[in-house]
Amino acid sequence: MDIEVTPEEQEFRLEVRRYAQAHLPETVRRKVLYGEKLEKQEYVDWQKHLHRKGWIAPAWPAQYGGTGWSLSKQRVFLHELALQCAPETIPFGISMVGPVIYTFGSEAQKALYLPAILNSDTWWCQGFSEPNAGSDLASLRTRAVDCGDHYLLNGQKAWTTHGRFADMMFCLARTADTGKPQQGISFLLLDMKTPGVEVRPVRTIDEGASICEVFFNDVRVPKSGLVGKEGEGWTYAKFLLGHERAMIARVGRSRMQLARAQRLASHPLADGSRPIDNPLYRQRLCDIEARLRALELTELRALSAYRPGAGFDIADSSMLKIEGSEICQALTELLLDLAGRYGMVYTGRYTQSPIGDTTAHGLLGDHLFNRVATIYGGSSEIQKTVIAKSRFQK
Ligand SMILES: Cc1cc2nc3c(=O)[nH]c(=O)nc-3n(C[C@H](O)[C@H](O)[C@H](O)COP(=O)(O)OP(=O)(O)OC[C@H]3O[C@@H](n4cnc5c(N)ncnc54)[C@H](O)[C@@H]3O)c2cc1C
C-alpha cells in the first residue's frame, strides 16, 4: 500500500505546520514535547482554536460540523499536528461520544450536544467500568430504574478519567435482567451536576489525579438522556470502544517521540561518543521505526474498512490498540535509556523547572503513565481474545 502523500497533501501539511507554529503557545508545545500534564484550560484553548479554523473534528461527517476530508488528508493533518507537538484532542467528546450521538442519537440530542462538543464547552467522561466489571464489562451492576419521565440511577463507576473535570458523562447502566448479560444494558447521557452524583479522585503512580470513582445515589436521569433504544446500549458501546481503541494507536505521537529519540541519540555524550553509533541503540531505533511504519499501514487499512453506522472492524481496532500501545511504551523506555541518569529525575508536580538535562524533563512521568495503555480501553489479553474470536471463530 502506498502511503506517500500527493503534492496537494504536501501543501496541506505545510499549511497545518504554519498554523500550529502561529497559534500553539510555546509553553504548551514544550509541555507536549516533554510529556508533561496540561491544564484543562490549555486543552480547551487549543481545541477552540481548531474549532474556529473548522479543523476540530476531522473524522466527523461535514453535516455535523466535520471536515469531510479524505482519509489520507485526515492522516496528514493528525500526524503533522503531532509532529508540531500540538496536544492530542481530548477524546471523550470528539472521538468517542460524538460519533455515537450523530450515529444513534435523536435529533434533539444532536442539536443539544454536538455543537458544545465541537467548541469544547462541554467536557465528557466515560462511565463504563465498575469495581467488578472491567474486562467483563457486561457484568456491570449500575442500575437505571424506569420512573416514567426519568430513570433513577444507582451504582458505582471506577476508573473514570477526567471525572472531576467533566460536565457530562456517557454511561452504561442495566435497565433489564432478561437474556444474556449484554442484553438489557442502556446507554445514558447524564449531567455530572445532577444531585446524587459523587466524584472521588484517585491518586495514580504518576502523581496525577485525573482518575476518579463516581457514585450514583438516586440520580434522576431524564428519559431524553437515553441514546437509541433502551436495552441496546451494548451495541453502541462496542461502536464507541472501536473508536477508542483505534485512537489509542497514537501514530502521530509516536512519530514525534521517535524524532525526539533520534535527536537524543545523535547528541554527543561527555566523552564525545554518540548513542546512535552504538549498534544496540541503532537496532532499537530501526526496530521501532519499522513497527511504526507497519502500524501506519494497519491504521490506513482500518480506516479504509471503516463503515459509517457500523464503525471499525472490531479486530482492526484491537490490533491498533495492542501494537500502538506497545510502540508508545517501547519509545518511552528507549528515551529513558538514552537520557541516562537524567531520566531518573521525576518532576511529578509538573510545575518545577527542569532538573539536569532539559531533554530528559518529564520522561519518567510519561513513561510511568504509558504503562496503563496496556489496560485502558480494554486490556491487551482481552484484545487478543477479540482478535482470535473475530478472525478464527467463523
Ligand atoms: C488509567 C486508566 C484509565 C481508565 N479510564 C477509564 C474511563 O475513563 N472509563 C472507563 O469506563 N474505564 C476506564 N478504565 C478502565 C479500564 O477499561 C479497565 O481497567 C480495563 O477494562 C480492565 O478492567 P479491570 O481493571 O477491572 O481489570 P480486570 O478485568 O480485573 O483484569 C485484570 C487482569 O486480568 C486479565 N483478564 C481478565 N479477564 C481475562 C480473560 N477473560 N482472559 C484473559 N485475561 C483476562 C486482564 O487482562 C488484566 O490483566 C481505565 C483504566 C485505567 C488503568
Final residue belonging to a domain, choices 40, 70, 89: 89
pLDDT at position 178 over 70: yes
pLDDT at position 394 over 70: no
Report the pLDDT value the prediction gives residue 353, as an integer from 0 to 100.
Answer: 46
Task: Please tell me whether residues 22 and 148 are part of one structural domain.
Answer: no
Task: Please tell me whether residues 128 and 207 are part of one structural domain.
Answer: yes
Task: Note whether 248 and 161 are within 8 A (CB).
Answer: no
What are the φ/ψ torsions at residue 40 (nearest 5 degrees)? -55, -45
The band of 214, judged by pLDDT with boundaries at 50, 70 and 90, is very high
- Interval 274-290 mean pLDDT: 96
Final residue belonging to a domain, choices 89, 108, 135: 89
Task: Please tell me whether residues 173 and 265 are part of one structural domain.
Answer: no
- Interval 125-149 mean pLDDT: 97
Task: Please tell me whether residues 190 and 159 are part of one structural domain.
Answer: yes
Q: Is 84 in the pocket of ligand 1 (CB under 6 A)?
A: no
State the residue range of the domain holding 190.
124-233
Task: Please tell me whether residues 33 and 134 are part of one structural domain.
Answer: no
Residue-wise pLDDT tens digits, 227-272: 999 999 999 999 999 999 988 999 999 999 999 899 889 988 888 8
Task: Please tell me whether residues 208 and 256 are part of one structural domain.
Answer: no
Task: Note whether 82 and 255 are within 8 A (CB).
Answer: yes
- Interval 8-34 mean pLDDT: 94
Could you give the number of structural domains in the chain?
3
Report the pLDDT value the prediction gives residue 308, as an integer from 0 to 100.
Answer: 86
Give percent above pLDDT 70 in the chain: 94
Task: Note whether 97 and 170 are within 8 A (CB).
Answer: yes
Task: Please tell me whether residues 383 and 258 are part of one structural domain.
Answer: yes
The band of 342, judged by pLDDT with boundaries at 50, 70 and 90, is confident
The domain that contains 63 carries what CATH number? 1.10.540.10
pLDDT at position 213 over 90: yes
Task: Pick from 90, 95, 96, 129 the residue to mutate for probing ligand 1's pocket: most ligand atoms within 8 Å of its CB.
Answer: 129
Q: Is 375 in the pocket of ligand 1 (CB under 6 A)?
A: yes
Nearest to 374 by CA among 332, 339, 322: 322
For residue 340, count CB atoms less than 10 angstroms from its CB and return exposed for 0-12, middle for 13-18, buried for 19 or more.
middle
Mean pLDDT for the chain overall:
91
Please tell me the least confidently modeled range out of 111-120, 139-148, 261-270: 261-270
In a domain, 267, yes or no: yes
Report the pLDDT value the prediction gives residue 1, as an integer from 0 to 100.
Answer: 44
pLDDT at position 348 over 50: no
Please tell me the least confidently modeled range out of 11-15, 147-151, 164-168, 303-307: 303-307
In a domain, 240, yes or no: no
In a domain, 102, yes or no: no
Question: How many residues are given for the chain?
Answer: 394
In a domain, 105, yes or no: no
Task: Please tell me whether residues 357 and 303 are part of one structural domain.
Answer: yes
If you search the block for the grid coordinates 503533522, which residue do you land on? 80
The domain that contains 261 carries what CATH number? 1.20.140.10
Task: Pick from 376, 380, 386 the residue to mutate for probing ligand 1's pocket: most ligand atoms within 8 Å of its CB.
Answer: 376
Distance 135 CA to ligand 1 centre (A): 5
Spell out the residues 6+ positions from residue 37 whose beta carbon is closer than 8 angstroms to its own: 31, 208, 210, 350, 365
If you search the block for the grid coordinates 457486561, which residue do you land on? 138
In a domain, 32, yes or no: yes
Q: Is 202 in the pocket of ligand 1 (CB under 6 A)?
A: no
Task: Please tell me whether residues 154 and 226 are part of one structural domain.
Answer: yes
Task: Pick from 135, 161, 212 the residue to mutate for probing ligand 1's pocket: most ligand atoms within 8 Å of its CB.
Answer: 135
Final residue belonging to a domain, choices 233, 267, 283: 233
In a domain, 239, yes or no: no
In a domain, 72, yes or no: yes
Task: Please tell me whether residues 270 and 330 are part of one structural domain.
Answer: yes
pLDDT at position 284 over 90: yes
